[in-house]
Chain A
Amino acid sequence: MYRTTPFYERTSVLNKTGLWAHWSGYLSAAQYQLSEKFEYFAVRNSAGVYDTSPLYKYSIRGRDAEKFLSGVLARDIRKCRPGRAQYTIWCDDDGFVIEDGVINRLSATEFMLSAAEPNLAYFQGLVGYEEVEIEDVSDSIASFAFQGPLSRRILSAISPDVDKLGYFHLTETKIGGSPVTVSRTGYTGDLGYEIWSPADEALGVWDAVFEASEGYGVVPFGETALLMTRIEAGLLLIGADFRPSRFAWTDADKSTPLELGFGWMFRSIETESRPFIGREAIRNELSNGSRWRLIGLVLDWQSWDDVYGRAGHVPPKDHTPLAEETMLYKDEEQVGFATSWMYSPMVQRHIAIAQVRPELAALGTEVSFEVTIDHHLDYVKARVTRMPFYDPPHKTA
């Protein structure tokens, strides 16, 4: 049967809709209340709570843990000091992305990596004679995200360390009497935190946060609202925006870090000697060019209205996040594809995460976005834009 998370005792009562998604074998609320859009707005205007317990969590520790990770992860872990977190990726020898995740550095020799897919065999298979222990601690650590502009005010009332916590920093503190790690990370592109606690003490932590939230309009939010916020934040989703290279059929079905916009991770690749998996392939790609380039697209509102108006429709502005490939054209030639898109309530336009031929990646470049209306195809103008689409100053301030 599908498993339930350590918070199920609470989430099952809070979920009034009976709508559950399946995430890594767990029941994960799709939406708790009648309006998923309200849950979304709570994240953008107040704060929301999202149960992230189904994430895979790996404890990586030992004298050589840093050395091991600096060779396995594409982003340089040595630059991540204890008390910091890093968004990172790992690649295969051919320089294709296997997966992405966030790694918390708890001390000089202890790390915790969270990821959407299981990776234990892969990581363990890479351990040589180093002194590194990798343990799947997914079941023993419960986690939830607390995201939104009011999250700091609320959380620092019960955990004062949080008040000064910088973006992608972490702190070990207590909430509801239980030991927790709070990281200033998240998947919504807003001010927010993730709270990691022992699974058997999870409910007390959850209750303490909800109690502190009383009167602030805080609600739990489900997967639909989460996926809306992550598209606005321009954050990629495995399985939607790229596929893990380990299980792809063809190279065409794989993505490189440069194609996915992670070039910033390799700014010093030519001046540093750090060996890591995929390094040579990435260097080659840096000099020879990539197939695609990740971009943000904003659809032209006038063109959208015209296309639907011509067809006699009231132009739909649906916030439901869609993770399906949509083709992009320039002068009748297919030049790229969008992988996730939606109507963004904050941007007030349709937005899409997409990949195009590198020569079309410049800001402001116009392409045509394919839509299906009444059994025919039509094309909406779209422009390359900066991501994140929504990037409030309080995210990092």
Chain B
Amino acid sequence: MPSQRTYDAIVVGAGHNGLINGAYLAKSGLNTLILERRHLVGGAAITEELHPGFQFTTFSYALSHIRPEIIHELDLVEHGFMPLLMESLLAPMENGDYLLLGQDEQRNITEIRRHSKHDADAYQQFTHDVAMVVRAIKPLLDSIPPNIVSKEPEELVRMAALAQHMRDLPPRVIHNAVRLLMGSAADFLDDYFESEILKASIASSGIIGSKVGPRSQGSGLVLLFMAVGEHDGDQGAWAFHKGGNGGFTQVLATAARAFGAEIAVESPVDTVTTDNGRATGVVLADGTEIEAGIVVSSLDPRRTFLELVDPRELPSDLVESINRMKFQGTSAKVNFALDGLPTFPALADRGPEPYRGFINLGPTIDYLERAFDDAKYGWFSKRPYLDSCIQSTIDPDMAPPGKHVMSNFVQYTPFELKGSDWDTERENLGDTVQAVIEGFFPGFGDLVLHREVVTPLDIERTLGLTEGNIYAGEFLAPQMYFFRPAPGWNQYRTPIAGYYQCGSGTHPGGCVMGGPGRLAASQIIGDLEAAE
């Protein structure tokens, strides 16, 4: 329960964006309260002991996007920030062979040459080309985007600066950016590679969290988004935070409190109160009223605009945009507690080393595209794509000695099932996923001690993410940057004065990134300074 009745600012939701936003507001001197519906903070980034001694990353499972500025500005290192390197990508193939890429660039080249001599330097070229695009777009991720419908001089200046930034880029970089933003991952990769396993293991990052296949336009954008993160400056590399992403959000909560923010769990917000077009506070589900001149919603745009406030207070074109926004979650999680380390036969003598990163179960573009086909017609994939990690090989504290936890991100699992529902199909999905793993890791089933199946419906129910979309709104070009979540409302403000948005449904978007939380805070603090 909150300790006071009045605050300067209230943040609704203690996912990582809510925590980051609240920490910045508190750091700026505002008396800040963060309200969380559940019994724990973290939102989609939590770690739970679901089987005695086994720590599960129920939802989100790896870290790369977190903006480095946040690490520094919020003193996260002092509060226990510890991103352990996920060192490799293991992509098993159906013929028993595999592709194993890691930190050693020279060894990666020899490994790729095993599959295609052509693709060795092609891979270097690809990596560099993507890195050049990432460098070009990074400034856009770390700043408040222009308001495309505004005629305010300030916004025209912002647009001009954006145009200038684009003009300064080499033509090859611009063209690659457009090819990625508009095109398909498969088309882009076809321009570089001939090896199927190499293409598939890269293309799979173009479908994460999204209702697109590798051959769909739009998968290029997702591929690019998955490449903008880093681990210690190594672009596109991922970390497993000590204790999982839940370990990370605990660090955020400690930091937020250290800046003076108060966090109240089991405090669901029912409505944001307004008076004469101004936010005045919130009412909790139990009727408690708390006052604040600033209220920030970290919930997804549907809930921010249509649930927490009365949509009739909002312009109808905004309401229409929000209603049209695509969520259509198609991802699930199946997590296991294991009695021992699964082994891929061709690597049986290598111990845990090849598994200390991602395991990509989706060996060909056709495999991925077929998995998508099922989803198009309203059913989950007969042979789903899995992005797997055995996290206890990276952080031994995740499981008892010699035992393991395995996280499997699953696609495709459409939110709407034709002729059935997820409560009926939950364990069928679990069995389907387990069968795929068994195919690559014979004997896997014998290791299973506990299984947790998280369907898109569970994601929606537990977290409030509409239709279980992991990003709080699809990563489709019409829903990004100028348009996230709606044209004219991409700068964290809302039509209600003092009511702001800071969740993954705002720019730059989903993933454990913190960009929305940080940029929203800078907008709020800027508005307060301007008002003084």
Contacts and interface: CB of A to CB of B under 8 A. Distances in A.
B396 interface: yes
A348 B83 CA distance: 10
Contacts of B72: 301-302, 348-349
A359 to B, nearest CB: 29
B402 A45 contact: no
A150 B396 contact: yes
B235 A314 contact: yes
A346 B82 contact: yes
A214 B402 contact: yes
A348 B71 contact: yes
Contact of B102 (A34, A314, A343): A34
Most chain A CB inside 10 Å of its own CB: which residue of B87, B392, B396, B403: B396
Contacts of B84: 41, 45
Contacts of B71: 348
A321 B234 CA distance: 16
Contacts of A314: 131, 135, 233, 235
Nearest to A154: B401
Most chain B CB inside 10 Å of its own CB: which residue of A16, A34, A44, A317: A34
B242 interface: yes
B399 to A, nearest CB: 9
Nearest to A149: B397
Interface string B60-88: 00000000100110001100011111011
Nearest to A217: B396
A215 B396 contact: yes
Contact of B401 (A38, A215, A316): A215
B71 to A, nearest CB: 5
Interface string A33-65: 111011001001110000000000000000000
Contacts of A253: none
Contacts of A38: 85, 87, 356
B113 interface: no
Nearest to B356: A38
Contacts, number: 79
Given A34-B103, A319-B232, A348 B393 contact: no
A362 interface: no
B418 interface: no
Which interface class (under 10, 10 to 19, 20 to 34, 35 or more) fits B?
35 or more
Contact of B233 (A217, A302, A315, A346): A315
Contact of A35 (B82, B87, B392): B87
Contacts of A302: 72
Interface in A197-219: 214-217
Nearest to A317: B233
Which interface class (under 10, 10 to 19, 20 to 34, 35 or more) fits A?
20 to 34
B121 interface: no
A286 interface: no
A204 to B, nearest CB: 22
B49 interface: no
B86 to A, nearest CB: 9
Contacts of A45: 82, 84, 242, 395-397
A37 B103 contact: yes
A33 B233 contact: no
A34 B107 contact: yes
Most chain B CB inside 10 Å of its own CB: which residue of A33, A38, A316: A38
Interface string B25-62: 00000000000000000000000000000000000000
B353 interface: yes
Interface in B218-243: 232-235, 242
Contacts of B242: 45
Contacts of A348: 68, 71-72, 76-77, 81, 232
Interface string A284-320: 0000000000000000011000000000001111110
B403 A215 contact: yes
Contacts of A301: 68, 72
B85 A215 contact: no
B104 interface: yes
Contacts of A373: none
B85 A37 contact: yes
A302 B393 CA distance: 34
Given A34-B103, A38-B87, 13 more contacts: A33-B353, A35-B87, A35-B102, A35-B104, A38-B85, A38-B356, A45-B242, A45-B397, A150-B396, A215-B402, A301-B72, A317-B234, A348-B76
Interface of B: 68, 71-72, 76-77, 81-85, 87-88, 102-104, 107, 131, 135, 232-235, 242, 352-353, 356, 392-397, 400-403
7 tightest A-B CB contacts, nearest first: A317-B233, A215-B402, A215-B401, A217-B396, A35-B87, A35-B103, A317-B232
5 contacts: A34-B102, A34-B103, A34-B107, A45-B395, A343-B233
